[in-house]
Amino acid sequence: MNISVAIDGPAAAGKSTVAKKVAKILGYTYIDTGAMYRAFTWYCLKNGINCQDEKASCSVINKVKIQLLPNDVVLCNGEDVTKPIREPFVSANVSYIASYKDIRLALVEQQREMAKSNSVIMDGRDIGTYVLPNADVKIFQIASPETRAVRRYEENISKGIPCTLEEIEADVRKRDYIDSHRSFAPLKPASDSVLLDTSFLSVDEVVEEVINIINKKLKEKEKRG
């Protein structure tokens, strides 16, 4: 039987770091839905499209082919965009792109397709509420904005992406606002999700906690038959 685990939460809450590790331990496929919105945004910026212009952004839906490969590699129309999609210029625009319903519908279709044939752990903003409403396990992972900004700042620096802590914190807060206020599939906890505050936990502690939650939920499911 295929298992699906949804991890949602605000920007830079450590979802992907944790999801990747949990996927490896449990042998599930990890699906980074944020990377897809980032790749779409990268395509628009590269082609001179104003990401705040919904009509112009949606007009290229059929021209953008995004592929998630093993080892976190992201392709956009065959080009390796793994690194540039993490740059601040993409982060600054991605929440506009992600607020457009037609773009979401196209990417969600692909996400649901990927979840059909494997046990998956998928992270994003709307996985438990919209993409996989019947997911076996739903987790809403949070941390304070200050903690998240520091984590993302350190991650960027270690990857050689220049940035300042101030600009990262402003970006995180701005994206959270746009993501939670959009009309279609906004960022919010699913009513049946488990809230996990990671502000004072190490990565390994969060991984352990997520695995505990998954085991507990699966046992409960098994009992119910």
- Which residues of this protein are in contact with ligand CDP, per CB under 6 A? 11-12, 16, 33-34, 37-38, 94-95, 98, 124-127, 175, 179
In whole angstroms, what is the distance from residue 192 CA to residue 64 CA?
34
Closer residue to ligand CDP (CB): 34 or 145: 34
In the complex, what is the shortest distance from the CB of residue 79 to ligand CDP, in angstroms, rounded to a whole number?
18
In the complex, what is the shortest distance from the CB of residue 38 to ligand CDP, in angstroms, rounded to a whole number?
5
Closer residue to ligand CDP (CB): 94 or 137: 94
Closer residue to ligand CDP (CB): 21 or 175: 175
Closer residue to ligand CDP (CB): 92 or 218: 92
Contact 161, 171 (CB under 8 A): no
DSSP 159: T
**Which secondary structure element, helix H or strand E, spans residue 209, and what is its range?**
helix 203-224
CA dihedral 68, 25, 34, 61 (to 10 degrees): 30
Most distant CA atoms of the chain, gap in Å = 54
In the complex, what is the shortest distance from the CB of residue 120 to ligand CDP, in angstroms, rounded to a whole number?
13
Find the radius of gyration of the CA atoms of the chain: 17
Contact 51, 96 (CB under 8 A): yes
Closer residue to ligand CDP (CB): 73 or 219: 73
Q: How many CA atoms lie within 13 A of 192 on its CB side?
A: 14
In the complex, what is the shortest distance from the CB of residue 83 to ligand CDP, in angstroms, rounded to a whole number?
13
In the complex, what is the shortest distance from the CB of residue 205 to ligand CDP, in angstroms, rounded to a whole number?
19
Closer residue to ligand CDP (CB): 9 or 217: 9
Question: How far apart, in Å, do the first and last CA atoms of the chain sit?
Answer: 13
In the complex, what is the shortest distance from the CB of residue 178 to ligand CDP, in angstroms, rounded to a whole number?
7
CA dihedral 200, 152, 68, 76 (to 10 degrees): 160
b/e for 182-192, b at 16 or more Cβ within 10 A?
Answer: beebebebbee
